[in-house]
Every structure is written in C-alpha cells, then in structure tokens.
Amino acid sequence: MRIFITGMGAISSLGFSVEEHLKSLINSQHGISKVELVRELFGDFLGGEIKLTNAEIKTKLGLSENSNHSRTALLGMWAAKEAFNNSNIENLKLGLFNGTSVGGMDLTENYYAEYQSDNNENNENILSHECGTSTVNIADYLDVKACQSTISTACSSAANAIMLSARMMQVGELDIALAGGADALSSFTMNGFKSLGIYDETLCRPFDATRKGLNMGEGAGFIFLETEEAQKQTKHTILAELIGWGNANDAFHQTASSPEAIGAKLAMSTAMKVAKINSNEIDYINAHGTGTDNNDLTEVKAINDLFSGKIPAFSSTKSFTGHTLAACGGLEAIFSILSLQHNCIFPNLRWENQMENTELSPVTKLEQKEINCVLSNSFGFGGNNSTLIFKKIR
C-alpha cells in the first residue's frame, strides 16, 4: 500500500507557515534567541521561542481570549489547520494523531503558583494538564470527530504519531490522517534540561567537538496522509510519499542513548526494510542531532555502522529551531519533504570542529543536489528511537 503526503502545516521560531520555514532554512536564518515569555527560569536561556503570547495566538486563531487552551494546544491548532486537507474527504475514515510531551505544562505552572497563594483546587488551569487534552482541543477546533490518539514518547512522539497513522492505514483502519506533534516551552522542561547539564548557554552546535548541549525550542508540525485509493477520491496534490518507518527501544538509560547505538541502528534499518530499499538509496539524513554529547556521538556511530562505505549527507536542523521535543518529528518530517521538493540539503549551522574518533562531518552550507529519498531520525528519552523515510513523487 502506498501512503502519500498531501498537506503540511508548521509553526516554530522560524515562521508561522511552511512557506516561511522554507525561506528561513534556505537563507540560513535560525530562530534561536533569548527566551522572554517563560516565567521563573533559573538564569538566562537561549531557545527557539515563538514571539507571540498565548493571547495573541488566540486572536490569530479566532478564539475567545477567555478560552482555556494551553500553549501546546494553540500551537498544535495553528499547524494542524494549515496541514488539514479537508476537501473531498466524505466517507473516508479519518484519524488525528498528536504527539506531545509537555502538554498543558504552561497552565499547570500557573496553577501551581496560584494554588500556593489561594489553595484553590478548582483552578481551571489544571484542567489542561493531561497531554491528551491538547489532542481534543485540536480536534474540536478543526471539527474532527473521528479516531483520535495521543502519543507521548518524549522526543520521538510526533514521529511515532506519523508512524501509527501509517500502520493503521496499512491494515485498513484508516484512509486519511492528520499526524504530527506540538510542544511549548515551559520552565519545568527548560530548568530540567539545565539540571541535567545538557543545556547550552550559547547557540547550540550539533555534531561539533565543542558542543555543550541543546537549546530548547517550541512549535508544531503536522502532515496530512492519504492512502493511494483515498487520494484518487480527494485528488489532492501529492507532495511526497511515506515509504518507511521503524521504532526501536534499547532501554539503556532514562535519558541517554546506548553507546553501541543499538536502538538507533535498529530503527533506521527497520525503516529501510519496510521501505524495501538499500542504504545506498538514502540521499540525505535529517539527523536528530540535539547538540548533546551523548546523542550526537551515538547517532554518528549508528550512521557510520549502518551506512559503512557510503555515508549519506546529513545535518541537524535543530540548529535552526532548537530542540522542539515532541514536535521535532513533525517539523522535521516537513523539512525532509521540503528537501525532496526543492532538491536541497539544509545546513547544520555553527559546525566547525570534527568530533573525536569520527571522520563524519555534517553539511554546513545549503547544498543543491538531486534528492530522491530522505531519512529522518527522532530519538527520545528512555531509548525510544524512531525513523521515517520519505520519497519524491515522480
């Protein structure tokens, strides 16, 4: 069964639409700046912050200023609306799959502060805490009453949401799906990463020998998927094809990848097996590339071991957006499709120094070349590793 992508939607510090993201990526304009909207941070942070308040986002979405939506839900609504190709979908089985890890944390933090002062257990800010609430909010906003599912597997969440939608199409449970993920910045997650010693106080440098950690970001990325038979009905323009997916969990450590890169290699090799392609058919790898010591080292090992003899071009676009946690698999699926559409490899910004014990170097400037097949990695805490493969439509 063939699965096509016919819609995309994105919001991050790079822009408010897929078109704006493409422009930023082509012009090497990153969106990382001083974080200004998050309360109670322990020090100054650089991050991929969207410079709109929740109230401003609600206005742009046409929502009441009194609506009780978390920032994660609002970002998800924004991107999902752009991606949702809802013409000619009558009688087709639709699913909505949303990946998130932060959920309503921003409102929960407000609840905590207010509870300390008034002990009000009925404060409505706690009502949006559950990750699934953002999925319900997105569905309600788009008037989607079909199958809904929330995936929360840390940084692989959106990739797993896309993967689940494809697998459900494969077995005939769905004809079309809106899949991706959303996460917002919060003091809990930002202070938490800093406490782990993996937050870079300067601009992140994925795969560089001098890397000190990640910069967090926020955003949402969704794609619209259709089976080949469904697309014959909708007649939506095909942007790319999803041909492979794989998930593996090496369960090595709560926050670190295994030094042997077992899970990463298995996720990539499984995706290629599903796609029925060989490693030499991959033209570009959109790497997970967080900028942390452990992740970058193990991902490079996985790439070196799996593609020995012919290493594809690779880069981390987190140097543009920061690490958007659960949303990264959705955003980077879109970046992978843009790479196919425009025959280009987006640069790994700020890379200068090769890591020890490896001869691999990422692409550091926009590179124009024929791109037919892109592999995108999303690796989460707990060793939950996911890989998606997209192919150009000819």
The per-residue pLDDT string of the chain (394 residues; one tens digit each, 9 = 90 and over) reads 999 999 999 999 999 999 999 999 999 999 999 999 998 899 899 999 999 999 999 999 999 988 889 999 999 999 999 999 999 999 999 999 999 999 988 888 776 666 666 666 656 666 677 788 999 999 999 999 889 999 999 999 999 999 999 999 999 999 999 999 999 999 999 999 999 999 999 999 999 999 999 999 999 999 999 999 999 999 999 999 999 999 998 877 666 777 788 999 999 999 999 999 999 999 999 999 999 999 999 999 999 999 987 999 999 999 999 999 999 999 999 999 999 999 999 999 999 999 988 889 999 999 999 999 999 999 987 779 999 999 999 8
DSSP summary character for residue 15? B
- Is residue 155 part of the annotated active site? The answer reads yes
Q: Kindly name the residue from 21, 30, 236, 323 that is annotated as catalytic.
A: 323
- How many CB atoms sit inside 10 A of residue 181's CB? 39
| Domain 3-234 = CATH 3.90.199.10 | no
Catalytic residue among 131, 155, 204, 373: 155
**Residue 288 is among the residues annotated as catalytic for this protein:** yes
Q: What is the pLDDT of residues 232-283, one digit of tens each?
A: 999 999 999 999 999 998 877 666 777 788 999 999 999 999 999 999 999 9
Query: Is 342 annotated in the active site?
Result: no
- Among residues 285, 286, 293, the alpha carbon closest in space to that of 259 is found at 293
Query: What is the CATH number that goes with domain 246-391?
Result: 3.40.47.10
In order, the DSSP letters of 353-377 are SPPTT-------S-EE----EEEEE
Helical (H) or strand (E) element with 222: strand 219-227
Q: How far apart are CA 98 and CA 303, in angstroms?
A: 28
Find out whether 162 and 242 touch, Cβ atoms under 8 Å: yes
Say which of 131, 236, 288, 373 is annotated catalytic: 288
CB 283 within 8 A of CB 275: no
**How far, in Å, CA of 41 to CA of 52, rounded?**
18
Q: What pLDDT is recorded for position 115?
A: 60
Residues of the chain with CATH 3.40.47.10: 3-234, 246-391
Give me the residues paired with residue 244 across strands: 389
